[in-house]
Amino acid sequence: MKNQSSLSLINQGRKMTEFAKRLELEGNSIANAELIKALGGLDKHMQAKALTSETMMKTIESTMQEIHEQLVKSNKKLRSSEDESIEIKTEIRKTNLRLDSLEMELIAMHKDSNQRLDTLVGQFDQMLDVLKLIAGR
């Protein structure tokens, strides 16, 4: 009896497995049909997107070209500005050298003036001493 019960259970299990497989196949067929239908709609959507993408790509390319042209212009201006900057720096260096030279001359003149002033003060002191001697007589 146990063998019959076991065989019966095994047969029922096999039937259930076959039934599950059939359900799975039918479910897959239905799912595949729905997928094909959805893909058809998706294909139309993708074609519309492709046109939109093509338009977008043309717009992007055009914008990139404009940006490139602006960069070229900016680069030329920058080079020109760099050249001007180099010229200005050169002029500043020349001016600084002239200022250094003038400063040295001014220092020399100041020293010379101080020496002359010291000489004049010495002469004045001598004249004052002479005047004191004359006045003291």
| pLDDT score of 5 | 66
pTM comes to 0.40
Q: Taking the CA atoms of the chain, what radius of gyration do you get in angstroms?
A: 53
Q: Is the dihedral of CA 66, 70, 71, 72 positive or negative?
A: positive
Average pLDDT value for the chain: 79
| pLDDT score of 97 | 93
Tokens of 46: 């993708």
| pLDDT score of 7 | 66
* Residue bearing tokens 């001598």: 126
Name which residue leads in pLDDT, 101 or 37. 101
Rounded CA-CA distance 94/101 in Å is 11
What end-to-end distance do the CA atoms of the chain give, in Å?
171
| pLDDT score of 79 | 87
Rounded CA-CA distance 111/124 in Å is 20
Rounded CA-CA distance 122/128 in Å is 10
Give per-residue pLDDT as tens, 53-104: 777 788 888 888 988 898 888 888 888 888 888 999 999 999 999 999 999 9
Rounded CA-CA distance 52/43 in Å is 14
* Residue bearing tokens 């063998």: 3
